Copies of this chain bind each other. A is one copy, B any other.
Amino acid sequence: MLMYRPFESQLNQELGKHGLHRAQWTILYYLVNEGPSTLVELAHYQRVEKPTMTRTVSRLEELGYVDHIPGKDRREKRMQLTAEGTKVYKKVRVTIDKFEQEILEGIPEDTQQLIIESMKAIRMNLINKESAK
């Protein structure tokens, strides 16, 4: 909670150097790691509603960072990174890696590892909580 705004404002500043925003960035991130995905998959991952994803993805499409290939289903829209999108991802990745290193400065390596593990556990708690409602 006490990190929320400092983190978001600094992150947006780093991303802003490349004309990106947080919500857009996490989509690129997901596509790189999971490969071509449908809007529903992306929306589920990000915990947003479908219309939100439609809009954000179409922004990325306009920027030329993603495009859609037809899935086997004529309803679904499978999104994938374009060559341009991959290029941008790699470039921003460097900035973000540096950013993450900077904010973790002074925290011992093993503690960092512990934090990352704990974050995953917290994420699971959050997601379970949600589906349990």
Which residue numbers of A lie inside 8 Å of B, CB to CB? 1-7, 9-11, 22, 26, 46-48, 102-107, 111, 114-115, 118-123, 125-127, 129-130
B122 touches A104 (CB 8 A): yes
- 29 examples of A-B residue contacts, CB within 8 angstroms: A1-B11, A1-B26, A2-B123, A3-B122, A3-B126, A4-B22, A4-B26, A5-B26, A5-B47, A5-B48, A6-B123, A6-B126, A7-B122, A7-B126, A9-B47, A9-B48, A9-B130, A10-B126, A10-B129, A10-B130, A103-B125, A103-B129, A105-B125, A107-B118, A107-B121, A107-B122, A114-B114, A115-B115, A115-B118
Chain B residues whose C-beta falls within 8 Å of the C-beta of A9 in the assembled complex: 47-48, 130
> Which chain B residues lie closer than 8 Å to A122 at the CB level?
3, 7, 103-104, 107
Contacts of A106 in B (CB 8 A): 121, 125
Nearest B-chain residue to A1, judged by Cβ: B26
Q: Closest residue to A29 on the B side, CB-wise?
A: B1
Which residues of chain B are near A115, meaning CB under 8 Å?
Answer: 114-115, 118
- Bound CA–CA A57/B94 (angstroms): 38
Given that A6-B47, A119-B2 are contacting pairs, would A126 and B114 also be in contact in the complex, using a CB cutoff of 8 Å? no
**Residues of chain B within 8 A of A129, CB atoms compared:** 10, 102-103
